[in-house]
Structure 1
């Protein structure tokens, strides 16, 4: 049953956050989305998020977090840093403090509109080693936000225990598989839809989609 409360979705215009936005639209009566401009290399990410929110009829705001990109050198904000993943090290695409700050500012924005639900697409199953995508961090953050603002926030993570194949299945269950596949930007190189096919994000996305479509074609999924 749809909850008669407002929700704020942390929204990047990527596969995961778009799936979460559509999930939230089915779960709550009123949904808004917030996108953060943190100095990411591809301005297209902001344009993509804006376009998706407009098409879905969701109120959307963009917050300037460019200071974050200035503070932490990483492959998502710097052209001179190579996108790479080395065993035993955080990926070069990890942005220190990103989800900490995003959830904090999303909570501030949510409180102003009387929303206590915050939705984010973090995932511990396919989290690429990012520490701020872990369930333990989200639970800790939820407590911290509630204490800091004396407000009953609830952070929802619909994808937390799903792998990419299962995330595609969820999108299909929401009747949004084609929408998510063709409208979203997951690629680290800034290519919408199926992406460049070479970066880690594209490879993970494609592998999950191929696995899901293979199972669906064999009739072994519920969608």
Structure 2
């Protein structure tokens, strides 16, 4: 397993810009193994994914890093999917010696702890405080499951909003740095041109002065005017 430093290098040097954007918005989307997925089922007792689902660890992407690459023909053998085995042409990546499986982590796969259910319904006033765990009615368990799913959705929503806010803050900081760098460069060009007697009118620097600065100071053939 690679270290955090090695993973950061791969993200910076190997990943495409689209992959880095996806990682900024949903960090676990590209960085988690299927067996680490923590997605919660929204269906409660109607959940249909009660068996572990074998998943590839990833796919080979097309140039641009947004869509999966595909072979000319589908694989000869079906690939496990949520709706049953399907033949696919996607360039999937599987481990050679073992298979990772995704397991739904919602509470509908196990009975809730009666003690937690009792505390929940007593707190809401649904049953008298003297009620024992043996006296809990079936609706109390259903109400508890619904509440757990609801709270999980709220947590996921808050986490998603926090990630989006952090990503927007990062993009805003990058835009600000780019603006300040361009502004500082413009000021340097203006000062350089003024010292050498170029005519500066209303703060505008002649294109010829900008290109002269690029050749003399930046060692370039020209980047075009910034003014």
With the shorter chain as reference, the TM-score category is under 0.3
* Higher RCO structure (Cα 8 Å, ≥6 apart): 1
Report the structure, 1 or 2, having the larger helix content.
2
The structure that has the greater radius of gyration is 2
TM-score by length of 1: 0.21
